Amino acid sequence: MVLITVLTPGINQPLFFLRGAASTYACGVHQNGLLCHLHWGNSIAPNASLAGRLDKDVLAFSPEHRRPQPAVGKSGHDVLSYEYPVANTGDFREPALDILHADGTHGLRLLYSAHRVIAGKPALTGLPATYAETAAEAETLEIDLRDARESSAGGGLIVTLSYTVFAGRDVIVRSTRITNHGTAPVTLTRALSASVDLPGNRFDLLTLPGAWARERWVERGPLRSGTQFTGSRRGASSHQDHPFFALLAPTAGETQGEVRGFSLVYSGNHQGGAEVDQMFNTRALLGIHPDGFTWHLAPGETFQTPEVVLAYSQAGLGGLSAQYHRLYRERLVRGVWRDRERPILINNWEATYFDFTADKLAAIAKSAGAIGVELFVLDDGWFGRRNDDTSSLGDWFTDAAKLPAGLGDVGHRIQAEGLRFGLWFEPEMISTESDLYRAHPDWCLHIPGRARTEGRNQLVLDFSRPEVVDAVYAMVAKILREAPIGYVKWDMNRHLTEVGSASLPAERQGEVFHRHILGVYAFAERLVTEFPEILVEGCSGGGGRYDPGMLYYTPQVWCSDNTDAIARLRIQHGTSIVYPPCTMGAHVSAVPNHQLHRTTPLRTRGHVALAGQFGFELDLIDLDATDLAEAKDLTALAKRTRHLLRSGDHHRLLDPNTGNVAAWMLVAPDQGEAMVTAVLALAEPNWRLQPLRLRGLDPKALYRGVHGPAGEWTGDVLMELGLPLTALKQDFQSCLWHLRRV
Ligand code: GLA
């Protein structure tokens, strides 16, 4: 790592070099006082003469900037490469920041004022963030930029850009703080987390759009002139638009080529993407979506943006994913479950939906315990009077009609079968048919005089109000303190509408989206602090809030409500671009599949679920003897291989988007062990699959197949000639090898 500042000759302005394992991020102060971007890419040695590169020629129709006093140099505003571009200065490209001043005018001009270097990485108040465990792991550079407006006319804003570089990694974590040191309030109308101006436009933009039950499909295409943004205005990171994008060299592939990633550690509205300007240069930006966002900043107040994790690789998308996987697994996920092997679970949702009794749950747990499952999760329908999705959200007390002996009794019966007990909650929601709504009809997000739009028959609680968060937390925590609960599934099943809060004044209504998310994080922080031993799995109609923000509190996320093994291939492939497999909940469900009505072999469903945190989502009592034996074998295999999930390197071998076979592998950090999986979607006539070339092995080592097709192969043979795929002949067949160094 190591961050070096050098002073440019003559004008004594600093240049900053943040050095990753094999990359450098550099910026510096232009002679005009503006902070400009210099480089983000392969390693370069710090060099003061590079200051000259901050300058750009003036263009026709590009307003010039001269430093107010003394007037030195000039540069076209619309061509400079800025570190943090602002509105209404003559840079007509997409800004990162805009401010409405008390006098009704917009914009600002930021000049370098100071910087400091901090050992380690300071936490972000109220927000999830990557972290350093020791001061030696990371260094943080903070650069203060000052609005050049005279203070008598409403100046006084300080914008602090924060950059953390981690030892041994190629990531730079950026965020921004805006502090009002003036005497009048201002309103932020846009405050993105980071912006990077890159030379040239020869990039492909990769995004992960989707929908419910089809999350994070990979899309890739060349940048065009103008803006290309993706974003969510739903109040959640969402199934539809993911808070991540990458810019790839057009020739970059899975294992080679230059790739830059942008990942926002946030669970609410977001906007990200790129603008190609008139000189064919590219500006990439990411942060809170400006639509629906304003923030009233009174004198003395500070606004903190969420952080963006910038990752760089010369080794293609696979190299980029490796950067994200390692960082998110080791320094975003936290708590005792970060380093523990996770329990193999069974969830009753698709087995019973709302229709269950304590006896039925105990029977499912008994059959699961018999094949080695370790955790039983009671899903939706145990609370209030909830027999369908029309009621009871907000009434977090046990449904005495359905479970007359109480939740504690259910928990103890599950434990008697040798399993731990887990429970489903949807804390942010309220049904109009609930005691909570009857008592507090103004506790939901709403706008007076407007109809309240429902989604899945429910409204969203106003988590911008601390008293609402407190009340829901009290109910949830009471259940967790009283019943023997070791796991929580935290769901969130609709997006936000009529976003207004009964508790905020008019000038702060634009803050509700973000304050709501801060309330969600406050709830999560209390939960993991009071119940550190409880494993929390995130969920939002499947993978609708699978984002780095939630991963800070929930070490795993239910990847999708779509449990069809073949559909999951694309979903899990796209998810793996950013997220390590240890964060991905993946279960074996019944056939015909409940979402797609497709029938696939149990083994294939198992092999696909073994790509993530393995579990079941069906009634094992319905399985015949052969399938039950298979389920038992799969459970044992999951236990033998789950350490690879915790610490192994993941490689995407064959892409289900571009062929009819998907394949991936996990390799132990010491290369002594690997798990390789291949799944055939549709077979073709008179056609042989090419052998599957592996990656990441020790070329000289001899590997033996200890599960799957038998054989012994050297690492070089496996990587150069590949594993034969002769076993894959029919639709939906799969093959899994567990390899061990001999
Ligand atoms: C969401 C979740 C499912 C299940 C249901 C319960 O759809 O994604 O897994 O928990 O809610 O209502």
Q: Which amino acid is at 137?
A: E
Considering only CA atoms, which of 515, 519, 425, 414 is closest in space to residue 475?
425
What angle is formed at CA 685 by the lines to CA 683 and CA 686, rounded to 5 degrees?
125
Torsion angle of the four alpha carbons 715, 716, 720, 725, in this order, in degrees rounded to the nearest 10: -30
The residue contributing the CA closest to ligand 1 atom 1 is 541
| Residue from 428, 539, 568, 595 whose mutation best tests the ligand 1 pocket (most atoms within 8 A of CB) | 539
Q: HSE (CB half, 13 Å, CA atoms) of 102?
A: 15
Give the pLDDT confidence score for residue 12 in this predicted structure: 79
Which helix (H) or strand (E) element contains residue 522?
helix 512-530
Give the pLDDT confidence score for residue 511 in this predicted structure: 98
Query: 379 CA to middle of ligand 1, Å?
Result: 8
Residue 490 β-bridge partners: 425, 538
Considering only CA atoms, which of 739, 691, 738, 736 is closest in space to residue 601?
736
The ligand 1 site (C-beta within 6 Å) comprises: 349, 379-380, 424, 491, 493, 539, 541-542, 558, 561
Torsion angle of the four alpha carbons 271, 274, 278, 281, in this order, in degrees rounded to the nearest 10: 140
pTM of the model: 0.97
With contact defined as beta carbons under 8 Å apart, do 473 and 428 qualify? no
Residue 281, CA distances (Å) to 65, 340, 390 in order: 20, 45, 52
| Residue from 238, 345, 380 whose mutation best tests the ligand 1 pocket (most atoms within 8 A of CB) | 380
| Residue from 491, 495, 556, 595 whose mutation best tests the ligand 1 pocket (most atoms within 8 A of CB) | 491
Q: List the structure tokens of 280.
A: 């064919």
The residue contributing the CA closest to ligand 1 atom 6 is 380
What angle is formed at CA 241 by the lines to CA 281 and CA 237, rounded to 5 degrees?
115
Query: 424 CA to middle of ligand 1, Å?
Result: 9
Q: Which amino acid is at 604?
A: T
As a whole number of angstroms, the distance between CA 190 and CA 108 comes to 12
Q: Whose structure tokens read 């304050």?
A: 515
Task: Reply yes or no on whether 561 is catalytic.
Answer: yes
Query: 312 CA to middle of ligand 1, Å?
Result: 36
Catalytic residue among 491, 619, 649, 655: 491
The alpha helices in 650-724, defined as continuous H runs, are 715-720
Q: Whose structure tokens read 């380093």?
A: 339
Maximal CA-CA distance, the chain: 86
Task: Reply yes or no on whether 491 is catalytic.
Answer: yes
Q: List the structure tokens of 163.
A: 């950059």
Write the pLDDT tens digit of every residue in 235-294: 999 999 999 999 999 999 999 999 999 999 999 999 999 999 999 999 999 999 999 999
Query: 328 CA to middle of ligand 1, Å?
Result: 25
Write the pLDDT tens digit of every residue in 620-667: 999 999 999 999 999 999 999 999 999 999 999 999 999 999 999 999
Q: List the structure tokens of 711.
A: 């054989």
* Ligand 1 atom nearest residue 540's Cα: 8
Query: 540 CA to middle of ligand 1, Å?
Result: 7
> How many C-beta neighbours within 10 Å does residue 686 have?
4
Catalytic residue among 147, 561, 564, 649: 561
Sequence-separated (6 or more) residues with CB below 8 Å from residue 10: none
Write the pLDDT tens digit of every residue in 381-406: 999 999 999 999 999 999 999 999 99
- The distance from CA 733 to its chain's CA centroid, rounded to whole angstroms, is 31
What's phi and psi for 316, nearest 5 deg?
70, -170
Strands 302-304 and 244-248 come out as unpaired
With contact defined as beta carbons under 8 Å apart, do 192 and 271 qualify? yes
Q: Reduced to 3 DSSP states, what percent helix, strand and coil does the chain have, rounded to the nearest 5?
A: 20, 30, 45
Task: Transcribe 116-163 into DSSP letters.
Answer: EEEES-PPPTTS-----SSGGGEEEEEEEEEE-S-GGGT--EEEEEEE
Query: 214 CA to middle of ligand 1, Å?
Result: 15
| Residue from 352, 388, 424 whose mutation best tests the ligand 1 pocket (most atoms within 8 A of CB) | 424
The residue contributing the CA closest to ligand 1 atom 12 is 380
The residue contributing the CA closest to ligand 1 atom 3 is 541
* Ligand 1 atom nearest residue 617's Cα: 9
Three-state secondary structure call for residue 76: strand
Give the pLDDT confidence score for residue 57 in this predicted structure: 76
* Ligand 1 atom nearest residue 389's Cα: 12
Residue 458 β-bridge partners: 431, 455
With contact defined as beta carbons under 8 Å apart, do 183 and 156 qualify? yes
Region of residue 443 (left: phi > 0; alpha: psi -120 to 50; beta: else): alpha
Give the pLDDT confidence score for residue 65 in this predicted structure: 64
Low-confidence ranges of the chain (pLDDT < 70): 1-2, 9, 65-74
Query: 541 CA to middle of ligand 1, Å?
Result: 5
Strands 535-538 and 485-490 come out as parallel
